[in-house]
Homo-oligomer: A and B are copies of this chain.
C-alpha cells in the first residue's frame, strides 16, 4: 500500500517515546516491536527502517530517559548550602517519593548491555552529588566516598524493597532519623567504642 494511507509519517522519536511508555508500564520485556507497531498503527517492517534492531531502540530510550531525568534534577538540589539540609532535602524528594517507573525498569536490568552504559552515567552523577555532601560536611575523601556509596546503595535497595507489597510493610515511615545517622561526623563515639572492646 502507499505511504501510510493518510497517516502521518513516523519518526525515530515516535518509536522511542512509545518505547519509554512501554518500559514504564511493563519493563524491558514489554518493549516489543510488534506491540509498538500495533499501537502506532504501522507494521513491524516499518520499524526496521528507523532502527537496526530492538536493542538500538532500547538504547535510544535509555539515552532519552538519561537526558530528561537526572541532568535537570541535580542543579536545584546543589543550591542548598548546608550539607545536612541538602541530604535531608534529597531524602524527602527522592527517597521518600515513589521512584519513576522507567528508572525501576532500568535498575532491574543493570547488567544488560543495552542498559548498562546509560545507567552507569546516571549513577556516577548521583554518586558525585552525594560525595560532595559528605565532603562539605568535613569528611576526608575516603570516608565521603564510602558514605556516598552507602547512601546510594540504600536508595536502590529502599526502592526495590518497596516494590514488593509484602516487604514494603517493613518500610519506615520517615527517613529523617537515617539522615542523622548518615551525617554523624564526630569520631569520638567510634573511637570510644573501639577502645572499649
Stretch at the interface among A5-13, A35-43, A62-70, A181-189: A181-189
Shortest C-beta distance, A182 to chain B (Å), equals: 8
Interfacial chain B residues near A97, Cβ < 8 Å: none
A107 near B: Cβ within 8 Å?
yes
Shortest C-beta distance, A28 to chain B (Å), equals: 9
Within 8 A of B (CB), among A24-69: 29
Interfacial chain B residues near A170, Cβ < 8 Å: 124, 127, 145, 148-149
Which residue of B155, B166, B171, B184 is within 8 Å of A184 (Cβ)? Answer: B184
A75 near B: Cβ within 8 Å?
no
Q: Which residue of B lies closest to A116 (CB)?
A: B164
Number of copies: 2
Interfacial chain B residues near A29, Cβ < 8 Å: 29
Which residue of B108, B161, B188, B197 is within 8 Å of A108 (Cβ)? Answer: B108
Shortest C-beta distance, A134 to chain B (Å), equals: 11
A185 to B124 Cα, complex, angstroms: 32
A158 near B: Cβ within 8 Å?
yes
B178 and A110 form a contact (CB under 8 A): no
Q: Which residue of B lies closest to A161 (CB)?
A: B153
A120 near B: Cβ within 8 Å?
yes
A152 to B180 Cα, complex, angstroms: 18
Binding site for B on A (CB under 8 A): 29, 84, 107-111, 116-117, 119-120, 123-124, 127, 143, 145-150, 152-158, 160-161, 163-167, 170-172, 177-178, 180-186, 188-190, 192-194, 197
